[in-house]
Amino acid sequence: MPEPWATTRTEIAGIAVAELARRFGTPLFVYDQAVVVERIGSLARFDHVRYAQKACSNLAVLDLMRRHGVLVDAVSAGEIHRATRAGYRPAGTPPAIVYTADIFDADALDQCARLDLHVNCGSPDMIDQWGRRSPGREITLRLNPGFGHGHSRKTNTGGKQSKHGIWHEQLAECVARAQQYGLTVAGLHMHIGSGTDLEHLSRVCQAMETAAVEAGPQVTSISAGGGLPVPYQAGERYVDLDAYYERWNATRLRLEDRFRHPVRLEIEPGRYLTAEAGYLVAEIRAVKRQADNTFYLVDAGFNNLARPILYGAYHPMAITPADGDTARSHRDVIVGGPLCESGDIFTQEEGGFVVARRLPEARVGDLLVIENAGAYGFVMGSNYNSKPLAAEVLLRSDGPHLIRRRQSVEELLQGESIPAPPTDHAAPHS
C-alpha cells in the first residue's frame, strides 16, 4: 500500500509524468494496467469476478477485464453496448453480461430482450416488465436487506432510505410474481457497500442466507455485490480478503448443503479493480494568494473528477515540478479547478467544507497528479462549462496507449441545432 503517499511524483509506472502530459495533453487520465491485473488475480478464489463497469468503462479497460476472465455488469443500454463492443458475448452460464438496475428504460429493455441478457431485477416493476417482454427466463433479484453501509450518505445502498433493490419483506411476493410469467428466480444479489467492516459483512451474509432459504432451492447463485474498499488516505485499509471470502463461502456452503446442489459465488467489484490504477494529471495554471490562503488552480475540475464535490472524497495528490526540483519546501494549499462554480475544489470535505492540503511549493506550469482516480473518475465526467471530456491513456508493458482521445469542440457541439426562425416573421426577442 503506497502509504504515506508521496507529495512529489515524477513517474507513473516508470513513465515520466511530464512526458505523458507533453504527449497527450492535460487533463489526462492515466491507467496502469499492471495494477488492474494484479487486483484481478487477488480475487481468484471467488467462482466468478464480475466487473461493475460503472467504475471505469473505457473499452480498453473492459477488453482487459475480459481477457483476464472477468465477467461484466451493465446498468444501462450504453453499458451493454460497451460490453458487447469489448467482446463480451451474452450467452452462457454464468452469463458474461448481467443487467443490474432498479429500472428498465425503453432502450435497456429492448437491448436485454434482443440479446437475451440475464437480468438482475432491483424492483418488482422490473419483474413485470421483463416477464411480459421475455417470459420463461431465469432471473436474479437484487435485494435490499433493510440495512446498509457505505463510505458516504450518498453511497449507502441499503436500508429504507435507499432506492436500490427489492425490499427484503417483498421477496416471497416477488418470487411468486416472477412465476406468473414463467420466470425462475435462480439467484440473489446484494450490493450494500460492506467496506472493511467484517462484522457488518456477517450481517449481510446472514441476510443473504435467510433470503435464499426463503426463495428456495431454485437458487443456484449468490452475488456479494461490490464495495471492496481501497485506501484513499492514511488510516484506511483494504478488506481482509481471506476473512471476506471465508464469510461468503461459508454462507454458500450452508446453502449447498441445504439445497443439495452447487451454488455459485460471485463478487462484483468496481473500485477495487481500477481505483488505484488511475491518475488524473492536470497542469497548474494559476497560483493565487488570498490573505493566508494559497490556491493552486489547475486545468481539471469537477467536470473531470466529481468525487470531491459529490462526497467530499479525499484523493492523494502530488506535484510534478516542471524543473525537476523534487526537494521544494511544502505549504498548505487549496486545490481547485477552472469551473465557474465555488464548489470546484478538490480539497474539500463532506458538506463542502474547504480544507488545505500540505503540498510542495508549485508554480504555473508544474503538474498536479490526483491519485486513486481510476474509479468513478472519467465516467462521472461532464461537459459543464463546455469543457471537453479528458483523454485517457493505458500504460502497458509496451508503453502508453491512447484509449480515448480528448473530445473535440465539434464533438462537444454534436447533436445541437438552432431551430429555423419562426415563419410568422414575428420580431425576434432582443
Ligand X SMILES: Cc1ncc(COP(=O)(O)O)c(C=O)c1O
Residues that bind ligand X (CB under 6 A): 52, 54-55, 73, 100, 191, 225-228, 268-272, 375
- Comparing CA positions, the residue from 377, 381, 232 lying closest to residue 315 is 232
Q: How far is CA 187 from the centre of its chain?
A: 23
CB of 109 or CB of 192, closer to ligand X:
192
In angstroms, give the least distance from the CB of 40 to ligand X: 13
**How far is 281 from 296, CA to CA, in rounded Å?**
14
- Comparing CA positions, the residue from 65, 179, 71, 170 lying closest to residue 118 is 71
CB of 79 or CB of 268, closer to ligand X:
268
Catalytic hit among 56, 121, 174, 340? 340
In angstroms, give the least distance from the CB of 131 to ligand X: 21
CB of 275 or CB of 333, closer to ligand X:
275
Is 174 one of the catalytic residues?
no
CB of 24 or CB of 376, closer to ligand X:
376
Give Dmax (Cα) for the chain: 79
Q: Using CB atoms, what's the residue nearest to ligand X?
A: 226
CB of 227 or CB of 336, closer to ligand X:
227
Q: How far is CA 384 from the centre of its chain?
A: 20
In angstroms, give the least distance from the CB of 155 to ligand X: 7
In angstroms, give the least distance from the CB of 227 to ligand X: 5
The three-point CA angle 156-161-167 to 5° equals: 95
**How far is 430 from 427, CA to CA, in rounded Å?**
9
CB of 375 or CB of 394, closer to ligand X:
375
- Give kind and range of the element (H or E) at residue 34: helix 33-42
In angstroms, give the least distance from the CB of 93 to ligand X: 20
In angstroms, give the least distance from the CB of 271 to ligand X: 4
Q: What is the crossing angle of helices 77-85 and 59-67, to 10°?
A: 60
DSSP 3-state assignment of 404?
A: strand
Can you point out the beta strands (E) in 102-191?
A: 118-121, 138-144, 166-167, 184-189
CA-CA distances (angstroms) from residue 386 to 28, 74, 383, 389? 17, 28, 5, 9
Catalytic residue IDs: 340
